[in-house]
A and B are shown apart, each in its own frame.
Chain A
Amino acid sequence: MLAMVIDDSRAMRSILRRIVTELGFECVEAADGQDAIDKLNAGPVPDLALIDWNMPVLDGLSFVTHVRDNREWKDVTLMMVTTEGEHAQIVRALAAGAHEYVIKPFTADAIQEKLQLLGLVGVEA
């Protein structure tokens, strides 16, 4: 399984890379929404994208909308990972097509549990 970590913070990308790698994913990184779209076009298409909201060039919500408008990428699971914790923002992201939402700061357990909910990571007995 391949995960794409999309965040303009290199430190945050590194943290998320470590977490998803420990959960068994291969990982690619993108520094903003446009960089992520370029990498989707170039392939391979990831199974999961972890998406920051506030990024230069193209923000996370616009990225989600763009991905959902393209049937080729319909199987990509989209999870926002962002400091945007307002209720209205969560509703907007879900309406745009995000599957899950994690509010920064987060723990590695939180990422794992969300991926379990999405069926991308197994649940221990």
Chain B
Amino acid sequence: MTAMTTANTGVTDADLATISTYVESRSAILCPADKHYLFEARLRPVLRAYGLTDMRELAQKLRSGAHTALGEDVVDAMTTNETSWFRDIHPFDTMRQTLLPEIMANKTNRSINIWSAACSTGQELYSLAMMMDLQMPALQGWDVRLHGTDLSRDVITQAKAGRYSALEVNRGLPAQYLARYMTRDGAHYLVSEQLRRKATWERLNFIAPWPIMPRFDVVLCRNVLIYFDLDVRARIIRKIRDTLTPGGYLLLGSSETSIGDVEGFSRHVIGRTTVYRKEHR
């Protein structure tokens, strides 16, 4: 049987299936092999960096199993998603107006831990840090700790640096926050030291063993579970549940409703935001 090839590239569906299977086996993230354009767009820089001529050669290298760094970069490239500041806006309003005041009222110590579980390049967590600093004066004197994790080394490196291009700061960062919390650093913009100090960052692969983490009051895991199949989603949500304090909140993306069949959470709709509260046991 003749292998099917994509237009103009000579790359076979089998090659793309190899790459897709490779990414799924290491991250559990589903990358349908029929999305040729996605592979082309995401992996072109990787091909260039490793001096590979095409996707066929990449697939051969991955099959040989001897290229750990290349494999990591492929997973990074296929799983990194663009993000913006204050994405969707309403979850941040819900945090400010409802969740954080409730958490503060129920605390015996003055500390709050928040985890951005697929933090990408850090905009979600820094957005939260800026909002809490500027719009929640009641948090003065509180120990606010923000933790960001992601599968990708590269995004964690950028999040840790807190350094963004003009194109990136244009994406949803209100100008007053830009003026107040960022400084110019060459052609880039740097998040203030004051905010960077509140945040810690590390790599985390949802399907590998998790590092030891503190108990969180809020976990943000938005727009990432859609990339996993239902069983893996349920497993991840159970593990997230274990990291939450009783009464703590999980926020998923607007279109992610898979948590319905996981025990131990109650679902609440606050304005346009759906939140999941860990039930007390």
Residues of chain A at the chain B interface (Cβ within 8 Å):
85-87, 90-91, 93-94, 98-107, 109-110, 113-114, 116-117, 123, 125
Across the interface, A106 reaches (CB within 8 A) one of B170, B184, B272, namely B170
Contact of B89 with A117 in the complex, beta carbons under 8 Å: yes
**A101→B182 CA distance, assembly (Å):** 14
Indicate whether A114 sits within 8 Å of B172 (C-beta atoms), given known contacts A91-B179, A105-B166.
yes
- Interface residues on chain B, size class: 20 to 34
Interface of A is mostly: mixed
**A93→B86 CA distance, assembly (Å):** 22
User: Would you give the shortest CB distance from A51 to chain B, in whole angstroms?
Assistant: 13
Contact of B88 with A87 in the complex, beta carbons under 8 Å: no
User: Would you give the shortest CB distance from B239 to chain A, in whole angstroms?
Assistant: 28
Contact of B179 with A106 in the complex, beta carbons under 8 Å: no
Among B138-178, those with CB < 8 Å from A are 166-167, 169-172, 174-176, 178
User: Would you give the shortest CB distance from B270 to chain A, in whole angstroms?
Assistant: 14
User: Would you give the shortest CB distance from A94 to chain B, in whole angstroms?
Assistant: 6
**A105→B174 CA distance, assembly (Å):** 17
**A86→B89 CA distance, assembly (Å):** 26
Most buried by A among B84, B178, B183, B254: B178
User: Would you give the shortest CB distance from A34 to chain B, in whole angstroms?
Assistant: 25
Contact of A117 with B174 in the complex, beta carbons under 8 Å: yes
Most buried by A among B89, B90, B182: B89
